[in-house]
Structure 1
Amino acid sequence: MEARKPRTKSRNTMIRTALRDLRVQLALLNHQVGYRLALKDAELDCLDVLARDGALTPSTLARRAGIHPATMTGILDRLERGGWIVRDRDQADRRSVTIRIVKDRTAEVYRQYRGMNGAVDAICAGYTDEELELIAGFLHKCADAGVTSTEKLMAAD
């Protein structure tokens, strides 16, 4: 088995720079989508978490979206007034609430991302399945590193 060559600092810098560029461009895209749908960034983040993870309690949603629980009430109020979410009372424990997205409204969000999703699909078409698995694995590891770094910063406060 051939040994891997050590990574040069410049290659690692290249990757970090590309990830920063991607973060900035995705933030700009999300800001434009939010503007078009009259959603703030945090509200769009909450909808994204709910679309990915399904119905959640407000405290779980706040934790997964990285939002202070006290701020979550205002965000949920705005999303509910806008028809984006529904608060369902737990039938067994009427004090407990679960937040779910309104499926009909999510199509509006997906329409806004159609251009980016199509561009990503076109980019992916140029790679083999094995290459895409490697890229996806790398991106998941980067996301996990972000979670760990965030948790360390939060613990230091």
Structure 2
Amino acid sequence: MEALGNGTRGAKSGERRILVAGFGNVLLRDGGVGIHAIREMQKMNNTEILVSEIGTAVRDAHHLFAWADRVLAIDAMQARGTPGMIYSLTLRSGNGYGIQGSLHQPAFIEAVRRLPPEGQPEITILGVEPEVIGYGLDLSPAVLRSIPDLVRIAVEIIDCWKARTERVRR
């Protein structure tokens, strides 16, 4: 697991701490889409958020989930859609954080549930329908084509979160 970008580790009073977490295994083709997306986001060098390559070390990232007020998780998600289709789900502790299909969701939800109720972050998951989960380093063509849209949607969500925080501070 590697934290990428500068991130705001000590957010100023009133600021929301945003973690963008990429899940997956890059050795399993489309199963690593979260990591590929995070690497694209890293190129943006946004110092207002923490961008982290979690990979499959979900339980080891407990401290990052505890730090964050909001988590944008990016992962492969099998929902029987068209390969490359992007899904968005917003979870809150009140609804039990229950979802199906995200390949690394069980470990992620378990790690977040271990946090005290007042420390559980708002979570949005961006999932991409995989085409191929098998040994290899390359994304399938359909999933590779979805990366620019996935990154654009992630940035839109982050901008929305930051705008909501700005309105609250005024």
What TM-score do you get using the length of structure 2 for normalisation? 0.27
Give 1 or 2 for the bigger CA radius of gyration: 1
What TM-score do you get using the length of structure 1 for normalisation? 0.29
Greater relative contact order (Cα 8 A, min sep 6): structure 1 or 2? 2
